[in-house]
Amino acid sequence: MEIIEKIKKLDCGDIVENADLRKYTTYKVGGHAWAIVSPYTIKDLQTLLTLLIKEKVKYKIIGNGSNLIFSDKIYEGILIRLDNFDNLTIRDNVIRVGAGYPLMKLALKTARLGLTGLEFASGIPGSVGGAIFMNAGAYKSDMGYVVRSIRVLTPDLDVKTMYNYELDFHYRTSFLQKFPGFICLDATIELRHGDVEEITKLINERKMRRLETQPLEYPSAGSVFRNPENNFAGALIEEIGYKGKHIGDAYVSEKHANFIVNKGNASGDDVKKLILEIKDKIKKEKGIELKVEQEFVD
């Protein structure tokens, strides 16, 4: 393919051609993409994007695929992963970390150093950049509480620092979601000093709770719907009788109804159909418009 040959000539990153998207999403679903490119540096990312924009080629930045549902069709474009953006510097209680660094790994590493504030992230399988994009959170905390600033690549391909007050962090959303032309490159995170034993105990307790209440034995992407105000999406799904409901191998979990799991060979379309069916049924029966936390990608 001509565009892939042009990317190869740039020598700007690792390239996986005809990429099987099941390997790049936590649902383990999806078709193939023309290619996945992992730039080595910010300059390489700028060079790659300059080419894609010039050639009018569709592209998308992805993290660990922990919130994405790809269709089973070919993604006719280039997916860009920032997994090479994984530098980590810790000075006292201030962390500078690349967008591609795994969030769970960061949470556990800072916990061992006696830094508190990221315990909520110890069970979130995304990348730092993806977590900031989504304002990922749990246990009444989220990235908005700990991110001091980020560096972004702007739509004009300039590097700019954006501070917490500019990032418009709210429940499972941020400036980056509303303006996807901005790409998170790295973040400065500020934590607090705490007691290693207490931090570790809290993380372990929450891990046990997740094992008891969430279907971690199957591929999924965590909670499907945001909890509506003064209610729980999982309870609503149970009330309409959808616990255990399935389309193909995409099942509403018996353990937690706000999880859809892949019990074998679910397709991206199976997962999407089941989500939209639940959304539509709850709207009709309960009059509640559920917000999908996950992103459908064609």
| Alpha-carbon gap, residue 178 to 249, rounded angstroms | 33
Beta strands in 53-135 (DSSP E): 59-62, 68-70, 75-81, 88-91, 94-98, 115-116
- What is the mean pLDDT of the segment spanning 215-225? 96
**For 279-295, how does the pLDDT look when each residue is reduced to its tens digit (9 = 90+)?**
999 999 999 999 999 99
Task: Tell me the catalytic residues.
Answer: 172, 223, 293
| Alpha-carbon gap, residue 153 to 175, rounded angstroms | 13
- Helix then strand count (H, E) for the chain reads 8, 18
User: What is the model's pLDDT at position 205?
Assistant: 95
Domain 215-297 class?
Answer: alpha beta
User: What is the model's pLDDT at position 123?
Assistant: 93
User: What is the model's pLDDT at position 42?
Assistant: 98
Q: Is 71 helix (H, G, I), strand (E, B) or coil?
A: coil
**For 3-24, how does the pLDDT look when each residue is reduced to its tens digit (9 = 90+)?**
999 999 999 999 999 999 999 9
Within its chain, how far is the Cα of 50 from the centroid?
Answer: 25
| Alpha-carbon gap, residue 226 to 223, rounded angstroms | 7
Q: How large a percentage of the chain has pLDDT more than 90?
A: 98
Topology of domain 2-81 in CATH is: 3.30.43
Closest CA to 17 of 295, 2, 44: 2
Task: Tell me where in the chain the CATH 3.30.43.10 domain(s) lie.
Answer: 2-81
Mean pLDDT of all residues belonging to the chain:
96
Confidence of residue 274 (pLDDT cuts 50, 70, 90): very high
Residue type, 211: L
Confidence of residue 114 (pLDDT cuts 50, 70, 90): very high
User: What is the model's pLDDT at position 63?
Assistant: 93
Topology of domain 88-199 in CATH is: 3.30.465
**For 166-208, how does the pLDDT look when each residue is reduced to its tens digit (9 = 90+)?**
999 999 999 999 999 999 999 999 999 999 999 999 999 999 9
What would the two tokens of residue 148 be? 């001091």
User: What is the model's pLDDT at position 296?
Assistant: 97
- Predicted structure pTM score: 0.94
Confidence of residue 150 (pLDDT cuts 50, 70, 90): very high
Confidence of residue 232 (pLDDT cuts 50, 70, 90): very high
Q: Which helix (H) or strand (E) holds 14?
A: strand 13-20
Residues contacting residue 202 through CB under 8 Å, at least 6 positions apart:
119
**For 51-102, how does the pLDDT look when each residue is reduced to its tens digit (9 = 90+)?**
999 999 999 999 999 999 999 999 999 999 999 999 999 999 999 999 999 9
Burial class (CB in 10 A: 0-12, 13-18, 19+), 193: exposed
Task: Tell me where in the chain the CATH 3.90.78.10 domain(s) lie.
Answer: 215-297
